[in-house]
Amino acid sequence: MEEGIDYDEVLKEAQDLGFAEADPTADVEGHDVRAKIAILAKLAFGTSIPIDSIPCKGITNISTVDFAYAKQMGCTIKLIGTACRQSKFGEHDGDICVYVSPKLVPNDHLLALANGAGNAVSISSANMGIASLTGPGAGRYPTANSIVADIMRVANDTCPTTPFPLSSNIDMNNDFVSSFYIRISFRDGLGIVKSVGELAEQTGVSIHSILQQPITDRMQADTVVTTESCALSQIQELCNLIEQEDYTLAAPVYMPLISDY
């Protein structure tokens, strides 16, 4: 999709290569990433995270238009699972935040380099800074290798007795803080930018920039708003208000910018 190829064509190619299942729901809706980040959150923080409690947004609403805007911003788009301790929430300071969402990722960031069947993990800590792990995350040979290795561990009785040695009961709060990208599909007319600005002010969202490619079809166009750091709940409220406006053609597409974590 970075190269302008439509979603359906890219998905079919991924299925043909064995990178996506015949039923691609777990892949494209982020369920596979959600399972992985739940395990990583338990390893990192010692708290068991119920899968169903993890907000999960997939890539089905992402289009080639979003990649074009991302490129304009020096970024790409990746589906990312995030688990972190919050540090911007006052009374919720220190709570765990776990979620799955597409994100805009700067091109020079480690996670931007995970292409094809590649997976990447970026670990940020106070003492080590950022550490990273990369490797194949799909395909018949990597999958078969992992399954056989697990079977051998069970058969040889070499499985760890405590796969999750850390245990804690840290509170969760998934109303995370980030800068956001919002794409608005609209029917062209006067006062649209003014309206979006007023709705942003109403919801306490500070706009960082407005991007718009030249309009070639006044009945259907797109504009992008990026925001300063704010809570997810504020962005959801803003997008709900924008969707109700007469000029809006569809629910706005929003996603975090990875620069905040």
Q: Which two tokens stand for residue 228?
A: 């300063």
Name the pairing type of β-strands 180-186 and 75-85.
unpaired
From 102, 22, 99, 33, select the one nearest 61 (Cα to Cα): 102
- Candidates 6, 196, 168, 33; CA nearest to 96 is 168
Query: How far is Cα 242 from Cα 223, in angstroms, rounded to an integer?
Result: 12
Nearest to 224 by CA among 189, 196, 191: 196
The structure tokens listed for 231 are: 């809570």
- 7, 9, 14, 16: CA torsion to nearest 10: 160
Residue reference for tokens 């990178």? 19
Question: What is the full DSSP assignment across 84-107?
Answer: EE--SSGGGTT-EEEEEEEEEEET
Q: Residues 6 or more apart from 51 whose CB is under 8 A from it?
A: 34, 35, 38
Q: Is 36 a catalytic residue?
A: yes
Given the residues 12, 36, 57, 103, the one annotated as active site:
36
Beta-bridge partner residues of 132: 122
- Residues designated as active site: 36
